[in-house]
Amino acid sequence: MADRGVVDGFCDAGFAGVRRAFEDNFVDHGEVGAAVTVIVRGETVVDLLGGWADAEQRVPWSADTLVNAYSVGKAFLALLALREVEAGRIGLDDPVAAHWPAFAAAGKGATTVRHALAHRAGVPAIREPLVDDDLWDFDRMCDAVAATAPWWEPGERHAYHTNTYGHLVGGLLRHATGDLPGTLLARVAGPLDADVHWGLADADLARCARVVWAGPEPDRPDEPDRSGGGDRSDGRASATPDADADDEARMVLLGYVNPPGYSSIGVVNSEAWRRAQIPSTNGHMSARGIARMYAAIADGRLLDPGLLAEAVRPQSQGPCPVLGQDVTFGLGFQPWTAARPFGRTPAGFGHYGTGGSLGYADPSLGVAFGYVMNHVVPRWQSPRNRALVDAVHAALAGAGGAGGAGGTGSR
C-alpha cells in the first residue's frame, strides 16, 4: 500500500480537497500508481501524481509515465472521425461502405457512420476465430470486422462494441484517410502537448506503468481453434464458445476474447500490446494528456461546437447485453446520465475506461478532467474516480466555479 508521502505535483489552494481525495485513494482504496489533472477555463488547477508504476513498488510514478487507459480512447477515436465529418470528407449518415467498400459484406451495406459511432453497427464481436498474432496487425483486424456478418440488422439496436469499436471506426478512418489512427491522433494531440497515443514508439516503451490487476490476473483464454471447435480436449475453455451456445451469449463472449488478448488479458504489459494499434482498448495516456484533449474539445479548438453538441446528444438508449444494464450512447462520447455521470451537471460528457480511468469535460463550468491509474478493478466507476470528481466539483462550488490563487506541492 502506498502512503501520502508519495504524492507529488501541483494543486491550486482552492482545490486542496482534490489532493486530499487523491492521497486518500492510496490509503483507503488500494491505489498503486495514478495521476489526475484538472483544467478550469484554460488554467491547470490540479496536476498530481503518486505511487508506483509497478506492483513491486520499485519504479515511482513520474510526470511522463504512460499507462493503458482502456476505453477512454474511444472518445478520441470518435473525435477523429467527427473531424473528418466537419471537414466534409465523411458524412454521419453516409454508409460506412461508401468509404470502406469491403464493409458491405454479409449484409452490412446500409450500416452508416452514425450507426458505427453509436454502437449500433451490429459487429460487437468478430465471428472468424482469430489469434493474437492477428491482433498486432491493424489491417488484418479491420478486415476481420469488415467480413463479419452482423449480429443484428445494423441500426435496429445497440450493444457496446467493447473492442471492435477500434477496428470499426479505426478501419473507417484508415480507408477514408489512408492513415492509421495513431498517426491521426498524433497530429491532433501533438500541438496540444497532449501525451495520448495508440501504437507506442520504441522510445516510449520504458515510460509505461505496468497494469496491476485487482487480485490475480484473470486467466488468459486459450488461442481459439481456427477450425471453429468449442472446448479444448484438456478441459480448458476455448475463446470460441460451444456451437450450441445462445447466439447473444456467443456474441458477448467473442467480443471480449476473440482474439484471446483483445481485452488485454495476459498481454497488457507486453511490448507487442504497447506497440499495436487497438484504439478501443490500448490507448497509452497520461492524465495531463487526457485533460488537455478535453479542454481543447470543450472550448472549440478541436471540433465545431454544433457538431460536438450532436456528438454528445443521446443517439441510442436502452438495455445493452454486453454491459448488462440500460445505457446511453452518443457519437463516441458518452452523454451525462445519472447512472454514469461526467462531472455533476448534465452538460458533462466523456468516457470511462476499465479500472476507472476517466476523461471528461463540462463546458458549462469550463472543466476538463483526466485520471489514470494502473491498479485495475474491472469496472468503470470506482470509489477512487468518484472521490476525485466529487472533490473537483465541491471546490468549484466553493469558489463560484473558479480556482483560488496560490498552490501546494511542486511541479
Nine-digit cell string for 334:
458518452
**pTM exceeding the 0.85 threshold for the entire prediction:** yes
Residue 378's pLDDT is 75
Give 41's pLDDT tier (boundaries 50, 70, 90): very high
Residue 340's pLDDT is 82
Q: Please give the Cα distance from 266 to 129 (Å, whole number).
A: 18
Task: Output the furthest CA–CA distance in the chain (Å, rounded).
Answer: 66
Give 173's pLDDT tier (boundaries 50, 70, 90): very high
Nine-digit cell string for 126:
468478430
Phi-psi group of 359: left, alpha or beta (phi > 0 → left; psi -120 to 50 → alpha; rest → beta): beta
CA nearest 103: which of 174, 53, 185?
174
Q: Please give the Cα distance from 167 to 209 (Å, whole number).
A: 25
pLDDT at residue 407 greater than cutoff 90: no
Least confident of 106-110, 135-139, 180-184, 239-243: 239-243
Q: Please give the Cα distance from 198 to 276 (Å, whole number).
A: 7
pLDDT at residue 46 greater than cutoff 90: yes
Give 380's pLDDT tier (boundaries 50, 70, 90): low
pLDDT at residue 294 greater than cutoff 70: yes
- Cα 317 off chain centre by: 20
Residue 44's pLDDT is 98
pLDDT at residue 229 greater than cutoff 50: no
Residue 222's pLDDT is 56
Q: Please give the Cα distance from 35 to 48 (Å, whole number).
A: 5
Residue 321's pLDDT is 96
Q: Please give the Cα distance from 161 to 143 (Å, whole number).
A: 16
For residue 249, the SS3 value is helix
